Amino acid sequence: MNVLVFLVESDTAKHSAIEKLQKQKLNLLKEQQALQAVCLKGAKINNKCFLSETVRKSYHTASEDCNALGGVLGTPTSSDDNDKLTDYIRQSIGPEEQVWLGLNDVVTEGRLVYQTGSSITYKNWDTSNSRSPQPDGAQSHNCAIPSRTSRGKWFDENAGGEALCLPVQHCLIA
């Protein structure tokens, strides 16, 4: 009799594990569909999908909202990325709009990192103004935005200011 009870409990555990795996698979499919929608609505740039959002937000709100969508604030990692991203911003939301880039020095002043915490590998700061080369190191300027006038060069900006969210998600579309 004890063996029979054990088998029933074992079958119940197996059934529960199967249900859990089926839910995980369904969630992964939903996530993949969401990513595909981002790729279709936005721009695919070097195997990443960028989608601009047209609501102005503070850096922190924009970052949280992008994370809720399954992405992070977009950050170019090469000159080619930066040029294509600058073109996408101009075409999708206009040349006068600002977007937050996914890098900041919130944790350690002067040490800019990607939102993931890793060191940035590509930099495109606007150094053309000798009186205020970027990043200018102001303690309230912890986040980055592309310049409206300097063809994609970056400026550091106050995180409490408002700009548009530009989430990036790695595209799952082949």
pLDDT digit string, tens, across residues 85-95: 888 888 888 77
Task: Give domain 42-170's CATH superfamily.
Answer: Mannose-Binding Protein A, subunit A (3.10.100.10)
Residue 171's pLDDT band (cuts 50, 70, 90): very low
Residue 160's pLDDT band (cuts 50, 70, 90): low
Cross-strand partners of 156: 144
Please classify residue 114 by burial: count the beta carbons closer than 10 Å to its beta carbon, then call 0-12 exposed, 13-18 middle and 19+ buried: middle
The pLDDT, as a whole number, for residue 54 is 75
Is the distance from CB of 103 to CB of 144 less than 8 angstroms? yes
How is the chain split into domains, by residue range? Answer: 42-170
Position with higher pLDDT, 33 vs 21 = 21
The pLDDT, as a whole number, for residue 21 is 85
What average pLDDT does the segment 33-46 reach?
Answer: 70
